[in-house]
Structure 1
Amino acid sequence: MAGFSTSFEAMNMPYRIGFLLGSLTGAGAEKTILTLAKNLSALGHSVDLYLLDTHGDYPQDGGINYIGVSGNKKTAKRQHLRTLTKNAGYDLFVTSRADFYGDISVVNKYCSVHITPTAWLKKHPLKFWKYPLQVRKLKRKFSNKRLIALSKGIKTDLVDHLGCASDNVMIINNPFETDRIRALANEPGAIPDGDYIVYVASMIPRKRHTDLFHAFSQLKNQRVRLVLIGQGHLKHELEELADSLGIQERVDFWGWDINPYRLVKAAKVSVLASEAEGLPRAVVESLLLSTPTVSTDCPSGPAEVMTGKLADYLVPVGDVDALKTSIDRALESYPDIDQDRLSRFDAVNVAKRYETLIPCHN
């Protein structure tokens, strides 16, 4: 990817801020960090974004200095990262990769946690001994680090289940570029014909597309379509399931779309069927676009976003009947969405919260 360097340009900015990402793939953590980096740069800071893999879906932003971390193996990348960050003069450094936290040669650094850690763990009845081992591994991963939790639920998990010190965990929500999202939603582009339900999610087990397929097959409205925005290794399996349920003609596998907002805005309902999140972008973005939203009450985040009357459209994870019923209700009527209550997610407000992590800023 063009534009990468391993040198630093002297820039007359108030603060020097660094971020580390695995890559620029089209996923939530990557989008969160990119949005933060862009908005902190817009506030006048010098922002460097380190990438362990320079390939990905998202384009580069002109205000950010992209730095590729070299090395064919993890050990080599660790060494290169230590060299690059040593004496670089960062006022703040944030990594989404806890496993590289110790290799960042910066005093004021944080690890951002984008999903409820123990929600990933599976309890196998025949391998019950694995669960405590996995918990201990997570404790080692996050202990003795300063952490940023994207939701209250993530912090609760880190403190109550993994023994992290409460004072070491800051809660700062996901950033959303509200004006940009709404502007992109109004841009011309292809959208499906007729009424449809939209699900923006990678096709991976955690997103539980199968629950949605079963619920969708039982809806009262058998004319509405289901549009899946995303990609993943379960696509073929989901295509077979759609065929077996007799809904293949009503399911659109749309794939990756760099501007899903026009599709979300035009949808009758947006759905999240996930079993675990951090602070789900799809839910917040749907509500920002005033699209009725149905979500599982998974750990964590949806219940912190869908409050008041919207909480009636939260359903238990894996409850296909409840999911079907809530989608049916949302297709017929939905409460007013209070946009003022979503202002805490605005990217500028969130970026200013990150500024408070710099000691000299306070």
Structure 2
Amino acid sequence: MSRPIPLLIVSTTLDCGGAERFASTLLANIDRDRLQPELVLFRNKLGYAMPADVSLHTLGHRRVWNTARTVARLRQLIRRQQPAIILSNIAATNVVTGMALCGIHARPRWVARVGNSPRLHDSFLKSWGANIVYPMADRIVGNSVGLTDELRTRFSPLAQRMTTLPNPTDLKALALQSTCADSLRPRMEGPLLIAVGRLCQQKRYDLMLEAFARVRSQVSAELWICGDGPLRRQLERQIRHLKLTSSVRLLGLRRNPHALMKQADLFLMSSDHEGSPNALIEAQVLGIPAVTTKCPHGPEEIVIHRTTGFLTPVGNADAFANAVLRALKTKELLSHTSAYEQVRRRFDANRVVRQWEDLLCQQVMTTRSEPSDFHSVSQVQSP
């Protein structure tokens, strides 16, 4: 039997977040006979589970001005560990990994996973860096078809190197977590609505609260929001202004939101942008109907409109409220058990992780023409 291929996975942390969840799920399910993974973290923060057999390396990254030091440390680590292939999981790690690989002779293969629209890059370094380092990547993987299409448009000379693989969901772990006891119970009779995600502008909780106020004028519903972030105080003020203090609960970061999600009648997501939202996938896997904006990207590839939920226009509180009311007043979304099973099959980690294994192994086994270091996208011709 051949030896497993050494794989280095690079992540900012293994704490809360979609890219971090992806790394944790991949590490837990990857076939050790095919790939032997090691994990590199910018910062030593472990919220998600990490298998005991995985070697952990930390780079001590703190602020953006530490980036040069982080790049140097990662380059040194790559030279020492000599992985056959590297997988970086988000824009920040993609940029640092690409810079670290520059100058390494006979460098390992590199797969860059992109989990969100490049339009959302929140720093010059990410935006500029993506244009510089992505031509060095052997494969660029989007987590939804819509996102990959956007990447092909944005980085058109690299289009042939791009593919799509969805976020893997560990169905057994999710089912177990959803059955864990939780002491939190609704305050009132009536339907329970739930949302899960960081309290930031992208998620548009302001629109969700505005829509929920209209729902509350007709239905005695309760809304739970799991997550924390920079907009918490602003949302607390809006909740008071809309007189929703008795019906909306900001629950903060929950290590296991799935036990709470399982209690809910409806899952809500009001984002302006996404990549492929894990919380929405998990709600659908648990058989919870959803009302979500049809934002770029992901929701329309997850929710089957009028079957497992409703898709509404981005930024339209009236349409969002009307969809919530329709979902609550009819049982039609609960009857399509085969449709929810279709969602489970598509995102099942047993299937998706095998696809990741195939892609990673294929990159190592195939011959490539060595890309040049540090050429901008505009200078690169498709391979």
Q: Normalising by structure 2, report the TM-score.
A: 0.82
The amino acid that maps onto 1:171 is T
Number of aligned residue pairs: 342
**One of 47, 55, 71 as aligned partner of 1:57:** 47
- Find the counterpart in structure 1 of residue 151 from structure 2: 158
Residue 87 (structure 1) shift: 5.3
Q: Paired residue for 1:316?
A: 313
**Whole-angstrom CA distance in 1 between matches of 2:307 and 2:118:** 26
1:136-176 Cα distance to aligned partner (Å, 9 max, x none)? 77534544433111011111111113325221112111010
Say if 1:230 and 1:134 are closer, same or farther in 2 by CA, change over 3 A.
Answer: closer
The CA distance in 1 between the partners of 2:54 and 2:37, in whole Å, is 6
Match of 2:300 among 298, 303, 314: 303
The one of 131, 139, 164 equivalent to 2:131 is 139
- Structure-1 residue corresponding to 2:22: 32
- Decide which moves more: 254-263 or 57-66: 57-66
1:68 is aligned to 2:70: no
Q: In structure 1, the residue corresponding to 2:156 is in which secondary structure? A: coil
Match of 1:5 in 2: none
Which structure has the higher relative contact order (CA within 8 Å, separation 6+)?
A: 2
1:257 to 254, 268, 288: 254
Per the alignment, residue 292 of structure 1 pairs with 289
Amino acid at match of 2:131: K
- Trace 1:175-190 onto structure 2 (pairs within 5 A): 175-190=168-183
Equivalent residue number for residue 199 of structure 1 = 195
Of 76, 79, 82 in structure 2, the residue corresponding to residue 86 of structure 1 is: 79
Closer, same or farther in 2 for the Cα pair 1:121/1:17, shift >3 Å?
closer
- Name the residue aligned to 2:373: none
Q: Supply the distance in 2 between the matched residues of 1:260 and 1:178 (Cα, whole angstroms).
A: 15
The answer for the alignment partner of 1:350 in structure 2 is 352
The offset of 1:317, in angstroms, is: 0.9
Q: Distance in 1 between matches of 2:342 and 2:365?
A: 27
- 2: distance between equivalents of 1:312 and 1:71? 41
Deviation, structure 1 residue 320: 0.3
- AA at the equivalent of 1:38: A
Cα deviation for residue 88 of structure 1 reads: 2.6
Q: CA RMSD in A?
A: 2.6
After alignment, is 293-302 or 156-165 more displaced? Answer: 156-165
1:282-326 superposed Cα distances (whole Å, 9 cap, x missing partner): 111001111111111010010111235338600111000110011
Give the CA deviation at 1:356. 1.5
**1:208-263 Cα deviation digits (max 9, x unpaired):** 00000000000154421110100011111100000001111111111111111111
After the TM superposition, list the runs of 4 or more consecutive aligned residues in structure 1 that deviate by more than 4 angstroms: 41-44, 133-138
The share of aligned pairs that are identical, in percent, is 22
* Residue of structure 1 in register with 2:164 after alignment: 171
The equivalent residue for 2:230 is: 233
Any gaps of 5 or more consecutive residues in structure 2?
Answer: 367-383
Correspondence 1:45 to 2:35: yes
Task: Write the letter of the residue equivalent to 2:5.
Answer: Y
Give the match for residue 107 of structure 1.
108
Structure 1 pair 85–144 and aligned structure 2 pair: CA distance change class (3 A)? closer
What code does the residue aligned with 2:354 have? K
SS at match of 1:174: coil
Question: Cα 1:134–1:346, aligned 2, differ >3 Å: closer, same or farther?
Answer: closer
Q: Which amino acid aligns with 2:75?
A: R
Q: Distance in 2 between matches of 1:81 and 1:98?
A: 12
Contact 1:48 1:64 in 2 (8 A): yes
**Distance change (3 Å), C-alpha of 1:307 and 1:18:** same
1:218 — aligned with what? 214
Aligned residues of 1:36 and 1:351 also touching (Cα < 8 A): yes
Matched residue type, 1:57: G
Q: Deviations over 1:34-90 (max 9, x none)?
A: 111221156663211100111253343323221112466221221111111115342
Superposed displacement of residue 187, structure 1: 1.3
The alignment's TM-score, normalised by the length of structure 1, stands at: 0.87
Residue 352 of structure 1 deviates from its aligned partner by 0.9
* Other structure's SS at 2:111 match: strand
User: Which residue in the other structure is 1:125 paired with?
Assistant: none
Which structure 1 segments of 5+ residues have no match? 1-11, 123-130
Call closer, same or farther: CA 1:187–1:166 in 2, change over 3 Å.
same
3-state SS, counterpart of residue 298 of structure 1: coil
Q: In structure 1, how many angstroms separate the alpha carbons of the residues matched to 2:180 and 2:9?
A: 31
Kept after mapping to 2: 8 A contact 1:113/1:150: yes
Q: 1:247 to 1:43 in 2, by over 3 A?
A: farther
